[in-house]
Amino acid sequence: MLRFLLRRIVTLIPTVFGIALFTFILINLALDRSSAHTDTHAHALDASQAFAPPPAFAVNDDESPDAYQRALALHLPLFLNPAIEDIQTHTARSLIQLQQPDTRRRAIRDLIHRGAAVIPYLVPELPHLPPDARDAALEALEAIAQRIGNHEELALAEDPAAYWARYHSVYGSDYASARVTRLIRRLVRHRDTLALHELRRLDTFILPELMSTLADDKLDLDARAQLVGLLCDISGRNDPLPPGATAEQIRENQLRWQEWWHQRYDLYTAFTGLRRLTGTVTETRFFHWMRRVLTLDFGVSAKDGRPIRLILAKRLPITLWLSGLAMLLAYLVAIPTGIITAMKPGTRLDRALSWFFAVGYAVPSFWLAMLVLRFLVHPSSLSWLSNHDPSYLAGSTHYWEELHFGAFLRQLIVPVLCLSSVSVAMFSRFQRASMLRIAQADFVRTARAKGLSETQVIFRHALRSGLVPLVTLMAVQMPFLISGALVIEWMFGIPGMGLETLDAIRSADYTWLIAVVTVTAIITIVASILADILYALVDPRILPGRSTARSH
């Protein structure tokens, strides 16, 4: 059994990769099409702002035209990136745009957004720029000086270009990753105000090291709050850590900042050495997609900014409970009813159950749920379920969130019955057909000839082989149950993935929709592995080294 399980897991690796690749292609085709309107809006916005004054400095570009592109990594090539873009290449492109009148204002705005991170790459190029481009670059540097605190010195300088050349010769060595790391360490360990002042002067240049430090879970609350406050000042993004924050609040805050940085790190980071070499593969859409799939980190919701990983942690177990109980109920009802109808084919009971299951198979689960909501809405109709007021049928999620675990399971009875109706009907028909076929097998006739009772023949000989088709349906039925659960959750107000998904559809929250598709695929793969294990237990002939002949 262990060899068989290992073999199935190994063979699933290329399957998972193929599913991920196929899903990636489909999603990107849809996203590329949906982003066409966004691109048109971006071009219109650039044209309207071509001669507008540069905006106030802010790294937080959540409302910028390319925010949508970066949130979904659409700004990256698909599978290979030979021309990696980082702070150096972005600054070089802005220098070229400064020389063109129609793109000059946009280049000034981009340089201001990147802050002091452009100083090591912009100031040395000032003497080589044409006069108009140099004046535009100095305009951007003047806005940056407001952030780093040297605007008064700059205002007193007769020649701004000479001032920046002198500034770079004196402070240029400060723009080094090692020094930034030391300053952050001093700030964390000693709460050094001089280190904090130096970090503020370096502005956006410290973002890579600052984000790396914030990723450390061992930081104490005061140090983390101070670093997050510094990050808020630099980025212009209002997401501080509240005083006395709980572990959950710290985690949510950390995930939001990580996603913010994940979308913008190339704008403030220089890729050198090995990172530039490996970036040809890592700086691609497919690599980012696979990283999100393997880590289940899909960023933050575009609807309300909540980390999707935390939403999944709260909503996914509820959906799994609903789907799993529906699957269990389907098997518990289908197996005995299939056996009963197969033992007495053509009888009134067989015809009645066949008609009943035919109707159950034809009636959609959501329509059955509508009937329940229509006719079981009165409290007396549901008094046998629990002692709680059945007001949850009105769709209140607060009611579900206040229930303890036992009451929660009791209140799932009606939704589970609705969700499992189609599965019960289908499984029962499959079980009946399988048992009728097995009843004509030679080993079953031999067991009857030996004088065994019908119960012994069914449960000791026929049932095990008759369960094989039903086990194989597990992997096929699981995604249908999950998709049905989404609708059932919405109708009954159950705070699972269904409510979030419908809200995401209405608000075009593609990050959550991608997460739902990916998680559903993973659950289907897990159900497939479980079905293979159960199949091996029911029919040992498929195990490696077993003979194809089977004795009964």
The pLDDT of residue 85 is above 50: yes
On whether the CB atoms of residues 197 and 258 are closer than 8 A, the answer is no
The pLDDT of residue 201 is above 70: yes
Q: Could you read off the pLDDT of 160-189 as tens digits, one per residue?
A: 999 999 999 999 899 999 999 999 999 998
487's CB contacts (< 8 A; 6+ apart) are 365, 366, 369, 498
Angle at 550 between CA 547 and CA 552, to 5 degrees: 150
Longest CA pairwise span in the chain (Å): 113
Q: 527: exposed, middle or buried (C-beta count within 10 Å: 0-12, 13-18, 19+)? A: buried
Highest mean pLDDT among 391-395, 413-417, 528-532: 413-417
- Look at the block and give the residue holding tokens 């095990």: 464
Highest mean pLDDT among 2-11, 201-210, 310-319: 201-210
The pTM score is: 0.73
CA 35, 41, 44, 48 torsion-angle sign:
negative
Task: Write down the pLDDT at residue 228.
Answer: 93
Q: Which of the two residues, 319 and 44, has the higher pLDDT score?
A: 319
CA 36 to chain centre: 23
- Look at the block and give the residue holding tokens 């080294």: 545
The Cβ of residue 197 has, within 10 Å, a number of other Cβ atoms equal to: 11
Q: Which of the two residues, 372 and 176, has the higher pLDDT score?
A: 176
> What are the residue ranges spanned by the domains of the chain?
35-75+85-173, 176-270, 308-542
Q: Which of the two residues, 516 and 468, has the higher pLDDT score?
A: 516
Question: Under the phi-then-psi rule, with left for phi > 0, alpha for psi from -120 to 50, and beta for the rest, what region is 77?
Answer: beta
What torsion, rounded to 10 degrees, do the Cα atoms 482, 488, 492, 493 define? 50
Angle at 515 between CA 514 and CA 520, to 5 degrees: 100
SS3 327: helix
Cα–Cα separations (whole angstroms), residue 257 to 114, 207, 224, 235, 251: 17, 11, 12, 11, 10
pLDDT band at 489 (very low <50, low <70, confident <90, very high): confident
On whether the CB atoms of residues 201 and 149 are closer than 8 A, the answer is yes
| Homologous superfamily (CATH) for 308-542 | MetI-like (1.10.3720.10)
Q: What residue type is 399 in one-letter code?
A: Y
Q: State percent of the chain over pLDDT 70.
A: 83
Highest mean pLDDT among 143-152, 408-417, 496-505: 143-152
The pLDDT of residue 49 is above 70: no
The pLDDT of residue 53 is above 60: no
Q: What is the mean pLDDT of the chain?
A: 79
Cα 43 to Cα 53: distance, rounded to the nearest angstrom: 18
Q: Which of the two residues, 280 and 540, has the higher pLDDT score?
A: 280
Q: What residue type is 409 in one-letter code?
A: L
CA 70 to chain centre: 15
Task: Write down the pLDDT at residue 117.
Answer: 93
The pLDDT of residue 91 is above 80: yes
Highest mean pLDDT among 181-195, 347-361, 527-541: 181-195
Q: Which of 281, 91, 116, 139 is nearest to 202 (CA)?
A: 116
Cα 8 to Cα 113: distance, rounded to the nearest angstrom: 51
Q: What residue type is 251 in one-letter code?
A: R
- Look at the block and give the residue holding tokens 């061992």: 218
Q: Which of the two residues, 106 and 548, has the higher pLDDT score?
A: 106
Task: Write down the pLDDT at residue 51.
Answer: 34
